Amino acid sequence: MVLTAKEEAVKVLASVPETATFEDIMYEMFVAEKLQKARQQIENGNVFTHEQAKVRLGKWLTK
């Protein structure tokens, strides 16, 4: 289930401590947004297998 932006914001606000700064909250919102986008990509089948990732990243990986 994908939450709406407002639902996700409420969830994030409920999870941060009372002493959280605006910077803390913005970071948590940023992470939540990235995770929500990643989940949506997975649901849409926009993923790579381990082997595909190894090929794509091969030029950066060293043995």
SS (H, E, C) 1-62: CCCCHHHHHHHHHHHCCCCCCHHHHHHHHHHHHHHHHHHHHHHCCCCCCHHHHHHHHCCCCC
Tens digit of pLDDT at every position of the chain (63 positions): 678 899 999 999 999 999 999 999 999 999 999 999 999 999 999 999 999 998 889 888 776
Structure tokens of 62? 């060293």
Sign of CA dihedral 23, 27, 29, 33: positive
What gap in Å lies between CA 17 and CA 24, rounded to an integer? Answer: 10
pTM value? Answer: 0.73
Domain residue spans of the chain: 5-57
